Amino acid sequence: MTGIEATASGPAALASPAVRQIAPYVIGKPIEELARELGVTDILKLASNENPLGPSARARAAMQDALQDIWLYPDGNGHDLKQALARWHGVEMSQVTLGNGSNDLLVQLAEAFLTPCTNAVYSEHAFAIYGIAVQATGAAARVPRALPDGHGMAFGHDLEAMAAAVDADTRLVYIANPNNPTGTWNTAAELQNFLRRVPSTTVVVLDEAYHEYSQLVDCPDATQWLKDHPNLVVLRTFSKAHGLAGVRVGYGLSHPQIADLLNRVRQPFNVGIPGLAGAAASVGDKEQIARAQQLVREGLAQLQSALPPLGARVFPTAGNFILADVGSSGTSVYERLLREGVIVRPVAGYGLPRCVRITIGTAPQNERLIAALSRVL
């Protein structure tokens, strides 16, 4: 989809040119939508990187108990959840900002720090919300090329190029570690070198939505660096490994002054009562994370073994998904898989037209995907 042209007439002409030209974010196709469109039943969705195990039993119980208060507004400050997060990460409560998913925080950061006279830096093939959040403010976007195909971290963030793109007017840098949709990651040494090079006038946002899965490849935990870098913000979410995508809870850790600014633009009551309860119950749940990691470890081995003989190239990943080059049009393969009742994610909009992104599922789900791909390819 493309944005509304700047020459639009009617009510659309009343909006800012920057907003009129935004290409809306395209979500993974919902199961219900596919059923309506094609009449397909028994649908398998592997498009949005959800955890097929769902939330833990204690998170489910906490959310169920919280429903008795659903007629009330939630705690707008999220005290109990912020307190649990501060204890878990060893920071002050004043350093925690809650979001309606980590997407919410990406937008809050843009609203707090960007103006039409400033710019933001993010990589080619990076998460699409970065560009949308930046464009909505009227700020300029600087998008250095990613590492090339053939590199050991093909399509990953080139931090040298990103550092070179930063200037005196750069207020934000978004770095996804690991990155969606490529699955790529940067090492601790690379990131620390980047942080040393970036001026204090630039806020560096490390988006660690897939952090729990990235531990399988020794990806760094940037929350350990907050004391040394007042301009660092680390984002996390309960949507992935914790299995709480449907209740939308994310959070940011930062210097208290940055958290204060984010709370000025944060919408009141942006996290609902079930989400606050489920997330608070999930903080520090090592068993839930271990189960999620084991599922991904086994599923990744399953896909890495089965897909190449079908003609698909599987790239290294630090997330709960794979990027697969299917040797032709990724969109065509995606559309043919829909008719098999399997939803994956085409990523032509990310500049990767030969690829699809596939969430790692349970063993039976992966087997069904493999069988469908064997017919489609």
Contacts with 343 (C-beta within 8 Å, 6 or more apart), sequence order = 28, 29, 31, 34, 43, 44, 45, 46, 47, 337
Largest CA distance in the chain: 55
214-221 contacts at long range (C-beta below 8 A, 24 or more positions apart) = 214/177, 214/178, 214/185, 214/318, 214/319, 215/293, 216/293, 216/296, 216/297, 216/318, 217/185, 217/316, 217/318, 219/177, 219/178, 219/185, 219/187, 219/318, 220/177, 220/187, 220/188, 220/191
pLDDT at residue number 232: 98
Q: What is the predicted pLDDT for the residue at 3?
A: 52
Distance CA 358, CA 51 (A): 12
Is the CB of residue 200 less than 8 Å from the CB of residue 231? yes
- Which residues have C-beta within 8 Å of that of residue 68, sequence separation ≥ 6? none
pLDDT of residue 130: 96
pLDDT at 1: 41
The CB density around residue 296, as the number of other CB atoms within 10 Å, is: 25
Q: Return the closest-CA partner of residue 285 out of 48, 85, 83, 82.
A: 85
What are the pLDDT digits (tens) for 196-221?
A: 999 999 999 999 999 999 988 889 99
**What is the pLDDT tens value at each position of the chain, 377 positions in all?**
445 554 567 887 767 777 877 676 666 778 888 888 888 888 899 999 999 999 999 999 999 999 999 999 999 999 999 999 999 999 999 999 999 999 999 999 999 999 999 999 999 999 999 999 999 999 999 999 999 998 999 999 999 999 999 999 999 999 999 999 999 999 999 999 999 999 999 999 999 999 999 988 889 999 999 999 999 999 999 999 999 999 999 999 999 999 999 999 999 999 999 999 999 999 999 999 999 999 999 999 999 999 999 999 999 999 999 999 998 899 999 999 999 999 999 999 999 999 999 999 999 999 999 999 999 98
Q: How far apart are CA 238 and CA 3, in angstroms?
A: 31
Where does CATH 3.90.1150.10 sit in the chain? Answer: 11-41+287-376
Q: Where in the chain is the domain with CATH 3.40.640.10?
A: 57-285
CA distance 46 to 321: 9
* Cα→Cα distances 305→92, 100, 153, 314, 326, Å: 45, 37, 20, 9, 15
Cβ atoms within 10 Å of 138's Cβ, excluding its own: 15
252, β-bridge pairs:
97, 235
Q: Which CATH code fits 57-285? A: 3.40.640.10
Q: CA-to-CA distance for 299 and 58, rounded, in angstroms?
A: 25
Which 3-state string (H, E, C) describes 4-30?
Answer: CCCCCCHHHHHCCHHHHCCCCCCCCCC
Find where tokens 């039993």 sit.
57
Cis before 181 (ω within 30): yes
Q: Does domain 11-41+287-376 have CATH number 3.90.1150.10?
A: yes
Q: Strand order of the sheet with strand 355-359? A: 313-314, 321-325, 355-359, 345-346
